[in-house]
Structure 1
Amino acid sequence: MASASRISRFPAPAPSHARLLDDPRFRALLSGEDWGRLPVAIWRRFSKRLADGRTIVYVGEVDEVWHSRIGWWLAQLARVIGGPLPTGTETGVPMIVTVTEDAATGGQAWTRICARRDRFPQVIHSSKRFAGPSGLEEYVGFGLRMALRLEAENEALRFRSVGYTLQLGRLRLPLPEWLTPGDVTVTHSDLGGGAFRFTLEIIHPRFGRLIRQSAVFREAAS
């Protein structure tokens, strides 16, 4: 019931007029059987390849956020590399995600803007690139890359971290476990009616769950 009340606050978007191209890049990272287990709405969302430089905008609201004490300090310390982890603790605040086709890398530039009631919004930039040993990685800047494995589970699409590297020029160095935040999982779950949920969870092998954030989105009208 709580999810339904959240979803109803966002009006259904008008049809997008952006020129979209069929994109097989995410689909190619799963078996045909796994891809077939996903809802059609997820197929469509992850088969949109924008023309170079065009952007899709998703508008939503944060409905859950939690940090352990260690997780909160980790998010604050990560500010020195651009602040890629959620630092806020507020729920019920707006969040916007933009996805832009990046012609330079052949990937996608993701920008997340999370409002805060008494401060400027937090802005997180990253780039999803179809490269690396798993075929997909997230680049957060400062040479830091996180390899991702794509999975279909319980009718949801999951992005799971499978290793971290630091790139220095042409040299890529694997990071030891003690220099990483642990296992990162981002889950995309379709809620029907054009709405979907993004959930971020970070679990450390020694310290347990560090961070969890969840938000419900819809695609904005063009």
Structure 2
Amino acid sequence: MASTRIPRSRTPDARLLDDSRFRALLSDEDWGRLPVAIWRRFSKRLSDGKTIVYVGLVDEACLSRIGWWIAQLLRAIGGPLPTSAATGVPIIVTVTEDASAGGQTWTRICARRRRFPQVIRSAKCFAGPTGLEEYVGFGISMALRVSVEQEVLVFRSVGYSFGAGRLRLPMPAWLTPGVLTVTHKDLGGGEFRFTQEVVHPRFGEIIRQSAVFREASS
């Protein structure tokens, strides 16, 4: 059953108004279709340098042969994509407020059997043509378009670019892994599902990983 909706302009809970940056990327109608639990997660403003920790378990993972090779090649720029198809392994996501950059630093730590965990770091900034960009390092970033699909919050890449100083150059599609889509679905009881998939324009879906999370107890 969907969570009870509270009109955005009339909510009595001040915590839902702490951070309007994600909310501003959606229309009132789309924001109103989300469960209240998602409102809370994406309206929680942290003090500079403070961190929220989410702990989870990977329950679905798939890398095609092409996807595996692309993920390995991208290790040269920090390894922004999953390199393992292991399931049943723990994963931790931390979100840290970065006031100097006007955004958030995201760190994902995913366990791998008989190997050191994979660490993926990126920074989300509320800028660019869509209002939200994710930087993976080495001057590479992608613009993200935010939408709502059947009560699920969706982040989808709409272009990659390379920047050096004030110079910003769009990257041709053949130099990118494809369209990245991340979804956030509330499961109730404090849990949510985080899924990411990469669809290559020629090879189709090459990477998919899904995990169930909950906020760590303080």
**TM-score of the pair, normalised by structure 1:** 0.90
* DSSP 3-state at the match of 1:48: coil
Deviation for aligned residue 1:21:
7.5
**CA shift in 2, pair 1:94/1:184, >3 Å:** same
1:24–1:47 Cα contact (<8 Å) kept:
yes
* DSSP 3-state at the match of 1:157: strand
Indicate the residue corresponding to 1:113 in structure 2: 109
Q: Structure 1: which amino acid aligns with 2:152?
A: A
Q: Aligned match of 1:54 in 28, 47, 50?
A: 50
Q: Aligned match of 2:20 in 10, 17, 24?
A: 24
Deviation for aligned residue 1:103:
1.3
Q: Give the alignment's Cα RMSD to 1 decimal.
A: 1.2
* DSSP 3-state at the match of 1:90: coil
Indicate the residue corresponding to 1:76 in structure 2: 72
Q: Aligned match of 2:175 in 168, 179, 187?
A: 179
2:16–2:40 Cα contact (<8 Å) kept:
no
The correspondence of residues 21-170 of structure 1 with structure 2, limited to 5 A, is 22-170=18-166
Q: Structure 2: which amino acid aligns with 1:173?
A: L
Deviations 1:34-81 (A, max 9, x none): 000000000000001101100000000000000111001000100000
Q: What is the count of residue pairs matched by the alignment? A: 204
Distance 2:57 2:111 in 1: 9
Query: Does residue 221 of the first structure (1) align with residue 217 of the second (2)?
Result: yes
Distance 1:199 1:39 in 2: 17
2:182–2:197 Cα contact (<8 Å) kept:
yes
1:20–1:49 Cα contact (<8 Å) kept:
no
Deviation for aligned residue 1:89:
1.5
* DSSP 3-state at the match of 1:132: coil
1:20–1:51 Cα contact (<8 Å) kept:
no
1:186–1:198 Cα contact (<8 Å) kept:
yes
Distance 2:127 2:179 in 1: 19
Distance 2:94 2:22 in 1: 18
* DSSP 3-state at the match of 2:97: strand
- The answer for unaligned runs of 5 or more in structure 1 is 1-18
- The answer for unaligned runs of 5 or more in structure 2 is 1-14
1:156–1:188 Cα contact (<8 Å) kept:
yes
Identity between Structure 1 and Structure 2 (%): 77
Deviations 1:87-127 (A, max 9, x none): 01210000000000001101000000001120110000000
Give the 4+ runs in structure 1 shifted more than 2 A.
none
